Amino acid sequence: MTEPERYTCEDVFRRLDDFLDRELGPTEMELVQRHLDSCEQCAREHRFEARVIDSIRGKLAHLRAPDLLVKRVSRLLEDEKHRR
Amino acid sequence: MEPGAPPTGAAPPGDETADFERLLMPLLGSAYSTAFRLTRNAADAEDLVQEAVLLACRGFGGFEAGTNFKAWFFRILTNAYFSKYRQQRRRGTAVELEDTPELYLYLQTASLGLHAKVTDPAEALMNRLDAELVGAALQELPDEYRAVAALYFINDMTYDDIAASLDVPIGTVRSRLHRARRMLQRALWRAAQEHGIVADLDAGTA
Protein backbone atom coordinates (compact mmCIF):
# COMPACT_ATOMS: atom_id res chain seq x y z
CA MET A 1 0.00 0.00 0.00
CA THR A 2 1.40 3.35 -1.04
CA GLU A 3 -1.62 5.31 0.16
CA PRO A 4 -0.60 7.56 3.06
CA GLU A 5 -2.61 7.16 6.22
CA ARG A 6 -3.01 10.88 6.75
CA TYR A 7 -3.46 13.82 4.45
CA THR A 8 -1.71 17.14 4.96
CA CYS A 9 -3.52 20.47 4.53
CA GLU A 10 -1.96 20.67 1.06
CA ASP A 11 -3.27 17.19 0.13
CA VAL A 12 -6.74 18.24 1.22
CA PHE A 13 -6.59 21.61 -0.52
CA ARG A 14 -5.78 19.92 -3.84
CA ARG A 15 -8.74 17.56 -3.42
CA LEU A 16 -11.25 20.03 -2.05
CA ASP A 17 -13.28 20.51 -5.26
CA ASP A 18 -13.53 16.79 -5.94
CA PHE A 19 -14.38 16.15 -2.32
CA LEU A 20 -17.17 18.72 -2.44
CA ASP A 21 -18.62 16.93 -5.45
CA ARG A 22 -18.12 13.46 -3.94
CA GLU A 23 -16.02 12.55 -6.93
CA LEU A 24 -13.13 11.00 -4.99
CA GLY A 25 -12.76 7.27 -4.39
CA PRO A 26 -13.93 5.93 -1.00
CA THR A 27 -10.42 5.85 0.50
CA GLU A 28 -9.66 9.42 -0.52
CA MET A 29 -13.07 10.64 0.66
CA GLU A 30 -12.35 9.05 4.03
CA LEU A 31 -8.84 10.53 4.29
CA VAL A 32 -10.06 14.03 3.44
CA GLN A 33 -12.93 13.72 5.91
CA ARG A 34 -10.56 12.55 8.62
CA HIS A 35 -8.33 15.56 8.03
CA LEU A 36 -11.32 17.95 8.08
CA ASP A 37 -12.44 16.44 11.38
CA SER A 38 -9.13 17.36 12.99
CA CYS A 39 -8.09 20.59 11.20
CA GLU A 40 -10.22 23.64 11.96
CA GLN A 41 -8.65 25.82 9.25
CA CYS A 42 -9.32 23.34 6.43
CA ALA A 43 -12.76 22.63 7.86
CA ARG A 44 -13.59 26.36 7.68
CA GLU A 45 -12.52 26.55 4.06
CA HIS A 46 -14.52 23.46 3.23
CA ARG A 47 -17.63 24.77 4.99
CA PHE A 48 -17.33 28.08 3.18
CA GLU A 49 -17.01 26.50 -0.26
CA ALA A 50 -19.84 24.05 0.39
CA ARG A 51 -22.11 26.88 1.50
CA VAL A 52 -21.33 28.96 -1.59
CA ILE A 53 -22.05 26.02 -3.91
CA ASP A 54 -25.33 25.23 -2.16
CA SER A 55 -26.39 28.83 -2.31
CA ILE A 56 -25.60 29.18 -6.02
CA ARG A 57 -27.44 25.95 -6.69
CA GLY A 58 -30.49 27.22 -4.85
CA LYS A 59 -30.47 30.50 -6.72
CA LEU A 60 -29.99 28.99 -10.17
CA ALA A 61 -32.70 26.45 -9.45
CA HIS A 62 -35.19 25.31 -12.03
CA LEU A 63 -37.18 27.76 -14.02
CA ARG A 64 -40.53 26.36 -15.04
CA ALA A 65 -40.87 25.70 -18.74
CA PRO A 66 -43.31 28.34 -20.06
CA ASP A 67 -46.78 26.93 -20.82
CA LEU A 68 -46.51 28.06 -24.41
CA LEU A 69 -43.29 26.08 -24.85
CA VAL A 70 -44.90 22.95 -23.40
CA LYS A 71 -47.81 23.36 -25.83
CA ARG A 72 -45.49 23.90 -28.77
CA VAL A 73 -43.43 20.85 -27.92
CA SER A 74 -46.56 18.72 -27.58
CA ARG A 75 -47.84 19.92 -30.93
CA LEU A 76 -44.44 19.32 -32.52
CA LEU A 77 -44.45 15.73 -31.25
CA GLU A 78 -48.03 15.19 -32.50
CA ASP A 79 -46.91 16.32 -35.94
CA GLU A 80 -43.97 13.92 -35.78
CA LYS A 81 -46.28 11.00 -34.97
CA HIS A 82 -48.30 11.66 -38.12
CA ARG A 83 -45.33 12.52 -40.23
CA ARG A 84 -43.97 8.97 -40.51
CA MET B 1 -33.34 -10.95 -28.00
CA GLU B 2 -30.10 -9.65 -26.58
CA PRO B 3 -30.36 -7.32 -23.63
CA GLY B 4 -29.81 -3.75 -24.66
CA ALA B 5 -30.65 -4.44 -28.29
CA PRO B 6 -31.97 -1.27 -29.92
CA PRO B 7 -35.75 -1.11 -29.98
CA THR B 8 -35.64 0.36 -33.47
CA GLY B 9 -37.93 -1.34 -35.89
CA ALA B 10 -39.74 -3.31 -33.20
CA ALA B 11 -42.34 -0.68 -32.42
CA PRO B 12 -44.41 1.24 -34.97
CA PRO B 13 -43.14 4.81 -35.46
CA GLY B 14 -46.05 6.37 -33.59
CA ASP B 15 -45.28 4.29 -30.52
CA GLU B 16 -41.64 5.21 -30.69
CA THR B 17 -42.55 8.88 -30.63
CA ALA B 18 -44.83 8.18 -27.67
CA ASP B 19 -41.87 6.55 -25.86
CA PHE B 20 -39.77 9.55 -26.66
CA GLU B 21 -42.45 11.91 -25.37
CA ARG B 22 -42.77 9.96 -22.12
CA LEU B 23 -39.01 10.29 -21.47
CA LEU B 24 -38.80 13.89 -22.62
CA MET B 25 -41.67 15.70 -20.93
CA PRO B 26 -40.36 15.40 -17.33
CA LEU B 27 -37.10 16.99 -18.52
CA LEU B 28 -38.63 20.05 -20.18
CA GLY B 29 -38.20 22.28 -17.11
CA SER B 30 -34.51 21.51 -16.71
CA ALA B 31 -34.00 21.67 -20.48
CA TYR B 32 -35.54 25.13 -20.55
CA SER B 33 -33.58 26.28 -17.46
CA THR B 34 -30.32 25.10 -18.99
CA ALA B 35 -31.15 26.62 -22.38
CA PHE B 36 -31.99 29.90 -20.67
CA ARG B 37 -28.60 30.00 -18.93
CA LEU B 38 -26.83 29.13 -22.17
CA THR B 39 -28.59 31.52 -24.54
CA ARG B 40 -29.12 34.28 -21.95
CA ASN B 41 -32.67 35.01 -23.01
CA ALA B 42 -36.13 33.46 -22.95
CA ALA B 43 -36.98 33.61 -26.66
CA ASP B 44 -33.72 31.96 -27.77
CA ALA B 45 -34.06 29.41 -24.97
CA GLU B 46 -37.50 28.38 -26.22
CA ASP B 47 -36.23 28.12 -29.80
CA LEU B 48 -33.25 26.06 -28.67
CA VAL B 49 -35.41 23.62 -26.70
CA GLN B 50 -37.76 23.15 -29.66
CA GLU B 51 -34.87 22.59 -32.02
CA ALA B 52 -33.30 20.05 -29.65
CA VAL B 53 -36.65 18.25 -29.23
CA LEU B 54 -37.10 17.93 -32.98
CA LEU B 55 -33.52 16.70 -33.53
CA ALA B 56 -33.80 14.26 -30.63
CA CYS B 57 -37.19 12.95 -31.77
CA ARG B 58 -35.94 12.28 -35.27
CA GLY B 59 -32.73 10.75 -33.94
CA PHE B 60 -34.45 8.69 -31.24
CA GLY B 61 -33.68 5.48 -33.14
CA GLY B 62 -30.06 6.09 -32.17
CA PHE B 63 -30.85 6.16 -28.46
CA GLU B 64 -29.97 2.91 -26.75
CA ALA B 65 -32.85 1.86 -24.50
CA GLY B 66 -31.85 1.58 -20.86
CA THR B 67 -29.00 4.11 -21.09
CA ASN B 68 -29.08 7.66 -19.71
CA PHE B 69 -31.76 9.50 -21.69
CA LYS B 70 -31.16 12.77 -19.88
CA ALA B 71 -27.46 12.85 -20.82
CA TRP B 72 -28.34 11.78 -24.38
CA PHE B 73 -30.91 14.56 -24.75
CA PHE B 74 -28.71 17.23 -23.16
CA ARG B 75 -25.93 16.28 -25.55
CA ILE B 76 -28.23 17.11 -28.44
CA LEU B 77 -29.31 20.33 -26.75
CA THR B 78 -25.77 21.57 -26.04
CA ASN B 79 -24.59 20.56 -29.53
CA ALA B 80 -27.47 22.50 -31.03
CA TYR B 81 -26.51 25.46 -28.88
CA PHE B 82 -22.82 25.36 -29.76
CA SER B 83 -23.41 24.99 -33.48
CA LYS B 84 -25.81 27.92 -33.51
CA TYR B 85 -24.63 30.44 -30.97
CA ARG B 86 -20.95 29.81 -30.35
CA GLN B 87 -18.50 32.63 -31.05
CA GLN B 88 -21.34 35.08 -31.05
CA ARG B 89 -19.50 37.18 -28.54
CA ARG B 90 -16.43 37.23 -26.43
CA ARG B 91 -16.34 39.30 -23.33
CA GLY B 92 -13.19 41.11 -22.28
CA THR B 93 -14.00 40.33 -18.67
CA ALA B 94 -13.63 36.61 -19.33
CA VAL B 95 -9.86 36.84 -19.53
CA GLU B 96 -9.66 38.39 -16.12
CA LEU B 97 -12.06 35.80 -14.72
CA GLU B 98 -9.98 32.90 -16.00
CA ASP B 99 -7.13 33.80 -13.68
CA THR B 100 -9.21 33.64 -10.53
CA PRO B 101 -7.35 31.85 -7.72
CA GLU B 102 -8.82 29.18 -5.49
CA LEU B 103 -10.91 30.11 -2.45
CA TYR B 104 -11.49 33.53 -3.95
CA LEU B 105 -14.55 34.53 -1.93
CA TYR B 106 -13.13 32.96 1.20
CA LEU B 107 -10.02 35.11 0.94
CA GLN B 108 -11.91 38.28 -0.01
CA THR B 109 -14.33 37.98 2.89
CA ALA B 110 -11.44 37.10 5.23
CA SER B 111 -9.49 40.20 4.28
CA LEU B 112 -12.65 42.21 4.87
CA GLY B 113 -12.57 40.93 8.44
CA LEU B 114 -15.94 39.23 8.01
CA HIS B 115 -14.72 35.90 9.41
CA ALA B 116 -14.07 37.50 12.78
CA LYS B 117 -17.43 39.28 12.79
CA VAL B 118 -19.90 36.51 11.90
CA THR B 119 -20.02 32.76 12.45
CA ASP B 120 -20.99 32.00 8.85
CA PRO B 121 -19.28 34.47 6.48
CA ALA B 122 -20.35 32.56 3.36
CA GLU B 123 -23.97 32.83 4.38
CA ALA B 124 -23.58 36.49 5.31
CA LEU B 125 -22.36 37.21 1.79
CA MET B 126 -24.57 34.85 -0.20
CA ASN B 127 -27.74 35.96 1.58
CA ARG B 128 -27.21 39.37 0.06
CA LEU B 129 -26.79 38.08 -3.50
CA ASP B 130 -30.21 37.43 -5.00
CA ALA B 131 -31.08 35.01 -7.78
CA GLU B 132 -30.89 37.74 -10.40
CA LEU B 133 -27.31 38.68 -9.46
CA VAL B 134 -26.22 35.04 -9.39
CA GLY B 135 -27.83 34.46 -12.80
CA ALA B 136 -26.08 37.55 -14.17
CA ALA B 137 -22.72 36.36 -12.79
CA LEU B 138 -23.16 33.03 -14.59
CA GLN B 139 -23.80 34.92 -17.82
CA GLU B 140 -20.31 36.39 -17.64
CA LEU B 141 -18.61 33.03 -18.04
CA PRO B 142 -17.36 32.03 -21.49
CA ASP B 143 -19.48 29.40 -23.28
CA GLU B 144 -17.57 26.25 -22.42
CA TYR B 145 -17.44 27.12 -18.72
CA ARG B 146 -21.03 28.29 -18.60
CA ALA B 147 -22.26 25.05 -20.15
CA VAL B 148 -20.49 22.91 -17.54
CA ALA B 149 -21.66 25.16 -14.72
CA ALA B 150 -25.27 25.14 -15.93
CA LEU B 151 -25.39 21.34 -16.12
CA TYR B 152 -23.78 21.08 -12.69
CA PHE B 153 -25.75 23.70 -10.78
CA ILE B 154 -29.15 23.38 -12.45
CA ASN B 155 -29.30 19.68 -13.17
CA ASP B 156 -27.25 18.35 -10.29
CA MET B 157 -25.34 16.12 -12.69
CA THR B 158 -22.27 14.03 -11.81
CA TYR B 159 -19.02 14.60 -13.72
CA ASP B 160 -19.82 11.45 -15.71
CA ASP B 161 -23.23 12.72 -16.77
CA ILE B 162 -21.83 16.14 -17.66
CA ALA B 163 -19.08 14.48 -19.72
CA ALA B 164 -21.70 12.42 -21.57
CA SER B 165 -23.88 15.49 -22.09
CA LEU B 166 -21.08 17.57 -23.55
CA ASP B 167 -19.21 14.75 -25.27
CA VAL B 168 -15.91 15.68 -23.62
CA PRO B 169 -13.59 13.60 -21.39
CA ILE B 170 -14.30 13.56 -17.67
CA GLY B 171 -10.94 15.26 -16.97
CA THR B 172 -12.07 18.20 -19.07
CA VAL B 173 -15.31 18.42 -17.11
CA ARG B 174 -13.39 18.37 -13.84
CA SER B 175 -10.95 21.15 -14.77
CA ARG B 176 -13.62 23.31 -16.44
CA LEU B 177 -16.03 22.97 -13.57
CA HIS B 178 -13.46 23.78 -10.90
CA ARG B 179 -12.40 26.78 -12.90
CA ALA B 180 -15.97 27.82 -13.63
CA ARG B 181 -16.71 27.88 -9.90
CA ARG B 182 -13.74 30.16 -9.26
CA MET B 183 -14.76 32.45 -12.13
CA LEU B 184 -18.27 32.57 -10.77
CA GLN B 185 -16.93 33.52 -7.33
CA ARG B 186 -15.03 36.42 -8.81
CA ALA B 187 -18.03 37.60 -10.81
CA LEU B 188 -20.14 37.41 -7.65
CA TRP B 189 -17.64 39.42 -5.66
CA ARG B 190 -17.59 42.08 -8.34
CA ALA B 191 -21.39 42.19 -8.30
CA ALA B 192 -21.27 42.50 -4.51
CA GLN B 193 -18.88 45.44 -4.83
CA GLU B 194 -20.94 47.15 -7.50
CA HIS B 195 -24.16 46.83 -5.51
CA GLY B 196 -22.70 48.19 -2.30
CA ILE B 197 -22.95 44.81 -0.58
CA VAL B 198 -19.24 44.67 0.19
CA ALA B 199 -19.40 48.15 1.71
CA ASP B 200 -22.37 47.09 3.86
CA LEU B 201 -20.59 43.96 5.05
CA ASP B 202 -17.52 46.01 5.80
CA ALA B 203 -19.53 48.49 7.85
CA GLY B 204 -21.27 45.65 9.63
CA THR B 205 -24.71 46.78 8.51
CA ALA B 206 -25.49 43.63 6.52
Which chain B residues are Cβ-neighbours of A49 within 8 angstroms?
103, 106, 122
Does residue B1 form part of some domain?
A: no
In this structure, chain A runs to a length of 84
Does residue B2 form part of some domain?
A: no
Q: Note the pLDDT tens digit of each residue in B57-114.
A: 999 999 998 899 999 999 999 999 998 876 555 555 566 777 888 999 999 999 999 9
User: B75 and B164 in one domain?
Assistant: no
Amino acid of residue B96: E
* Cα–Cα distance list, B186 to A43, B34, B112, B180, B193 (Å): 22, 22, 15, 10, 11
User: B142 and B79 in one domain?
Assistant: no
Does residue B127 form part of some domain?
A: yes
Q: A73–B13: do the CB atoms touch at under 8 Å?
A: no
When CB atoms are compared, the residue of A49, A53, A62 closest to B29 is A62
Element (H, E) at A37: helix A26-38
> What is the domain extent for residue A34?
9-83
Domain harbouring B98, CATH code: 1.10.10.10
User: B76 and B124 in one domain?
Assistant: no
Please check whether residue B15 touches A, CB under 8 A: no
Q: Note the pLDDT tens digit of each residue in A58-83.
A: 999 778 899 999 999 999 999 988 87
The C-alpha angle B29, A62, B129, rounded to 5 degrees, equals: 155
User: B102 and B26 in one domain?
Assistant: no
ipTM for the assembly: 0.87
- Among the candidates B85, B119, B140, a domain finishes at B85
> What is the domain extent for residue B60?
13-85
Does residue B4 form part of some domain?
A: no
Verdict on whether the full-model pTM lies above 0.80: yes
User: B97 and B174 in one domain?
Assistant: yes
In this structure, chain B runs to a length of 206
| Domain count within chain B | 2
